[in-house]
Amino acid sequence: MKDFQLYNQQIRQDLTLQTIQQGHSLTFKTTWGLFSPRAIDAGSQLLLDFLEINENDNCLDLGCGYGILGLSMAVLAPKGRTVLVDKDFVAVNYSEKNRLINHIQNAECYLSNGFDQVPKQQFDIIVSNIPAKVGKEMLYIYLFDALKYLKPGGSFYIVTITGLRLFFKRGFNEVFGHYEKIKQGKVYTVARGIKPSAKIRP
């Protein structure tokens, strides 16, 4: 009985992850019930490995989980502002906890269903580890809203299971008029769409 009580106490404790992203050491607290609590998932890491970011970029992490993508971007773009949103209040709480643990001042965490509560601004980079089972309607809402919230020339980076790559190729071409496959693996594919720059009138 004592062993079971000890186990009960142990599994309720936060898990701790350590990572280094482009030379920056970060610590993350996670818990059971969040996506990939024991290790940084391979899809997010693949996206981070191929993400192009400037130090003054304003960034958005859509569906932030405990903050691996968004807080990494905040560190890599210290002269910009990064917003992290998720529809899960536990995820937002842990993103905020991890923001404080890592002493990151240029980031904010919000509870939001997609872009519903995102501040009215435009971003240089939007990223998302796209969930596979939200339905095609919600996936198109992500695409339309990402286009709206990007600056001209801004990028919407996604990582998806490779089985969704053709859907997003079609969706990006329809909504953005552009699709770029960055890295395709057996399990995950990283891709992006770039918002067209405004046409210059003669």
- Other beta carbons within 10 Å of 179: 18
Stated length of the chain: 202
Which of 151, 195, 149 minimizes the C-alpha distance to 175?
A: 195
74-88 mean pLDDT? 97
Average pLDDT of span 130-135: 82
Hey, what CATH topology would domain 40-194 get?
Answer: Rossmann fold (3.40.50)
150-161: strand order across its sheet: 107-111, 82-86, 59-62, 123-129, 150-161, 188-194, 180-184
For the chain, the domains span 40-194
Phi-psi region of 191 (alpha: psi -120 to 50; beta: other; left: phi over 0): beta
3-state DSSP assignment of residue 125:
strand
Tens of pLDDT along 14-33? 889 999 998 899 999 999 99
Instruction: Tell me what pLDDT residue 201 has.
Output: 43
Q: What pLDDT, on the 0 to 100 scale, is given for residue 202?
A: 42
DSSP states along 69-123: HHHHHHHH-TTS-EEEEES-HHHHHHHHHHHHHTT--SEEEEE-STTTT--S--E
- Decide if pLDDT at 12 tops 70: yes
Q: pLDDT-derived band of residue 199, with 50, 70 and 90 as boundaries?
A: low
Q: With 70 as the cut, is the pLDDT of residue 154 above it?
A: yes
Residue 58: pLDDT band by 50, 70, 90 thresholds? very high
- Average pLDDT value for residue range 68-96: 97
Confidence (pLDDT) at 64 = 96
Mean pLDDT of 126-140: 89
pLDDT tens by residue, 90-103 = 999 999 999 999 99
123 forms beta bridges with: 150
